[in-house]
Every structure is written in structure tokens, then in C-alpha cells.
Chains A and B, each alone.
Chain A
Amino acid sequence: GAVVSQHPSRVICKSGTSVKIECRSLDFQATTMFWYRQFPKQSLMLMATSNEGSKATYEQGVEKDKFLINHASLTLSTLTVTSAHPEDSSFYICSANRGGGTEAFFGQGTRLTVV
């Protein structure tokens, strides 16, 4: 069964509003989770590394004020897309590594559409 759960799977929001996406590790504690963005038929683009109890580490070019990440517990990380615009429409996926870091478990992904 799924070991990382992501919610919601789809969301449509109006331009200017904020959207929160949750990522939970179900049967293990994840001190670190990773957030990706993926455009259709493109590769996974790592946006940020979410660290439990501390600030997230953002990849170069990712606006930290626009993509707010909170890792409040060992099993939950959230990504909030603030003041969303149509260009933020994308597929957002979270992941966490279990064990020795050799296998990444992905959430189901969230299809965000900003209208």
C-alpha cells in the first residue's frame, strides 16, 4: 500500500488565492520530505527540501515566499502556493526516502489548475 499520501489529488482555484497541499508519511517518520513540480511530459523538478523543525531548503530559482513549506511533524509536510497565478498550474509531487535513502516513495501528486 501507499506509504506516502498526498492530498488533494486535484484542485482548481481562482487566481490570487492560496492553495495548501499536504504530504504525509503513513508508516514511517520522515524528517525530510521533498517537493517536486512537473510540467506535462517533462522531468521532475525539485523545488525544495522540507526539514522537520527547521526551514526548508529551496532550489535555485524557486521563490520561497511564493511556495511556503512547513514541516510541522515527523509525518506531515505542507506546501502552500500563495497568490496563485495561471502559470503556477502544474503537477506537484512530494516524496520521502525510507530506510537507507535508496528508495523514494512518492505521494499521488496534486494537479493544480489556476483559473
Chain B
Amino acid sequence: GQSLEQPSEVTAVEGAIVQINCTYQTSGFYGLSWYQQHDGGAPTFLSYNALDGLEETGRFSSFLSRSDSYGYLLLQELQMKDSASYFCAVSLTMNRDDKIIFGKGTRLHILP
């Protein structure tokens, strides 16, 4: 089966830095991506890693270690609007017709 593990909830303070971890056990692996979902909305794409290392996009960074089957999303200078659920997801192949496997999501609570 396919398995992605991430914490169910994380709490952090406005202005701080938070890291959301994701470990995976899947039948294949092409890349790891991250999505943000606000309550009542649809998920939106944040970042993608196919190779080991850190990808930076503004306040958000994502890291991947293929040998450890591990990745994380790093959010800096937290803002109240960052309160949302964050999903890690694995692309099993490069074929866009293949489903992407999603983790159960991490609810991020931001305290003022």
C-alpha cells in the first residue's frame, strides 16, 4: 500500500518559523509536492521536489531526501493567513494520468 505520514496538527506563533515533516512509503516515487488548503476552499499547489535538496519560493521552502523517504515544508515569517491545512503528496510516476497520493494533512494553527 501507499503511506504518507505527517503530523495532524502544528501550532506556531505569528512571525515564527515552522517545519512540517512528511515521510512516505510508496510503490514508486517521482516527486514530492505540497499543497495548502484553507477551510472551505480547494487545495492549491505550493511546491515540488524531484531531486534531493531545498527548493525556496518566497517564505516557503521545501526539502527532500530521497534516500530517507523524507521531506518537509518550511514556512517562515508566519502570518495569520497561513493558518490552513498542508498536505504532502507523492507523484508515483511522471505520467500525469497517474494519481497523486496525498497525506492526511497537517492543520497549522497560528497564534497572534
Contact = CB atoms under 8 A, between A and B. Distances in A.
Contacts of B91: 101-102
Contacts of B85: 41
A103 B46 CA distance: 9
Interface stretch (B10-18, B69-77, B92-100): B92-100
Interface in B5-56: 30-31, 33, 35, 39-45, 48, 50
Interface in B80-112: 85, 87, 89, 91, 93-100, 102-105, 107
B23 to A, nearest CB: 16
Nearest to A2: B42
Interface in A65-108: 93, 97-108
B60 to A, nearest CB: 15
A97 B102 contact: no
18 contacts: A31-B97, A41-B107, A42-B105, A43-B103, A97-B96, A97-B97, A99-B96, A100-B94, A102-B31, A102-B50, A102-B91, A102-B94, A104-B33, A104-B35, A104-B45, A104-B100, A106-B44, A111-B40
Interface of B: 30-31, 33, 35, 39-45, 48, 50, 85, 87, 89, 91, 93-100, 102-105, 107
Interface of A: 6, 31-32, 34, 41-44, 46, 49, 51, 93, 97-109, 111
